[in-house]
Amino acid sequence: MDQETATEPAASPPVSGVELPANHSRSCECDADLRLSLIREETLARIEAVCLTVTKAIARREIPELTFPSRSSWDVVSFSETGGIELPEERKLVRVRLDNKLSTKTFAFMIKVLGIVYRLVQEDKYCTKRDIYYQDPGLFGSQTVIDNVVDNVACMLEVPRWKLHVLATCKGLVAGDLQFYDGQGIHVDCSRTKMGVQIPAHDKDMQYLHTGARLVIVVEKDATFQKLLTDDFCHTYGRVILITGKGFPDVGTRLMLRRIWDNFHLPVLVLTDSDPHGVEIMLVYKYGSKNHAFENQFLAVPALKWLGILPSDLQRVPVRKETALVLSSGDLQKLTEMLQRPYVISNRALTHQLEEMIQTGVKAELQCLDSVDTSFLSSVYLPNKIHAGDWI
């Protein structure tokens, strides 16, 4: 990771509530984000409470069960413009009981993972889902099983996955006007990188964020991210933070973006392919995912705007016709499903763009802009779109 070692300890955070001048670098210790600060003791207490309930049920010769909110369909989650996809107050519960042959294994898996997580949190250690799987691959059977069990345990405890000390490998990169300190006190300067700084997997390694940036641009693809760095976009356009999740974003990338938003309230714009997959990626950054409705409040950035490539852009930008691709039947099915989601229905501009994609029957990748000119993206498309406020 491109980083600069600090010679002094991190400075104390500024006094909250002080309004800085528009041209002043804004920095703060992220302690204001209390929603991300579930302490270890609270997590341990929640695990102990679950285990105590199971133990008492067995002592009373009752059938023990574990329950967690269902996230299986859109009708069991809710949506708000400010919070994204959320769990409703009245929740449909999944009940995992020992007397049900279909859920006996799931019960055992969840108890096993609770024990692993308890030890990790107690000892303040971390591991990956992959590490958990290899503790007993014969028992778990597949990595997918572990992924689902960890998600359900986090949902049951109402604790974000990273607070369970179970991490997913973060593939995201960040560059531009952003500095922070990791958990070891190492200073990371994202402006001193030619290929991007690896985004940490945990918020403990995202401390003392500091920026003088005017906006954040999230890029779907690493290739486009690298092209913008090669074109020196962060400096030629001005103070900008660039982020890429290298495709579908992982937790660390979304957590970093949300931290930047919470601390600095910068405009956040996202650049994706003009296809159903690109739209899905934009929606995950903006509203979160249905399966992780229990933690979207920590990750989603509802204020995020879709900068491009909008389907309507393809009618205005002089890209070569041969760069446009025909929508597949799967693409059309995906778009039709998206149009039925509550947050799409409530966003008329987004609905119009998806309907236009269906009507034209074409999709396009970010690379299609290179057919105009190799510097078209950084020197024309992005500056003009941002200046005109042409986003949704």
Which residues belong to the active site? 134
Residue 361's φ and ψ, nearest 5 degrees, are 75, 20
Alpha-carbon distance of 111 to 58, in angstroms, equals 14
Strand residues in 29-70 grouped as ranges (E)? 65-69
To 10 degrees, what angle do helices 329-338 and 348-360 make? 160
First to last CA, the chain: 34
The answer to whether 353 and 392 are in contact (CB under 8 A) is: yes
The secondary element (H helix, E strand) that includes residue 234 is helix 233-236
The answer to whether 38 and 258 are in contact (CB under 8 A) is: no
Q: What does DSSP assign to residue 183?
A: T
The secondary element (H helix, E strand) that includes residue 208 is strand 207-211
Type of residue at 109: F
